[in-house]
Amino acid sequence: MSKASLAQRNGHADSKKAQQKVDSGSELDDLIRKAQLEAGVKRREVPGLQAPAPTATAVTPEALFGNWTDTYGNTVCVYSMDAFNAQLVATLSRPPRHDINLPIYSVSMGCGWHCGDAALVERSDTQLMWMFPNGNVSTWTRKGGANRP
């Protein structure tokens, strides 16, 4: 085998190794993020709010629907994109900025939901508390204080 073909083969092998490192780095980041969220869920205890539940059925999609105000001054509207499936979206509005649309999806940890990067960690009839991987918390308060399921 010539030196050129050997070098080419090694270069290909090196690029495969580099890609595997990138893939494992992404997996590591995902594992770290998951562990951070789980730790945050365990340490959060606020009087008057329900403790996080271990299953995705802890909070129904219907309990998320409606109009909210978050701690960052956004108006948040939660609705379903599909009449047959609970494909939830949260639209965050704060003029003059353009609206931000974030997917809300079911997960098996915490209170069972993620919105963008945040995990739902606690809830009451009128509030939802979302924790980000860095530990920041956004509290959504239902507009009008109306009770929902």
Burial of 13 (0-12, 13-18, 19+ CB in 10 A): exposed
Q: What's the average model confidence in pLDDT over 104-124? A: 89
Give the pLDDT of residue 43. 53
pLDDT in tens, 32-86: 766 666 666 555 444 444 444 444 346 888 899 999 999 999 999 999 988 777 7
Question: Global pTM?
Answer: 0.61
Three-state DSSP state, 75: strand
Rg (CA), the chain: 21
Number of domains into which the chain is organized: 1
Residue 131: CB partners within 8 Å, gap ≥ 6? 37, 40, 41, 44, 110, 118, 119, 121, 137
Q: Domain range holding 134?
A: 1-149
Higher pLDDT, 7 or 127: 127
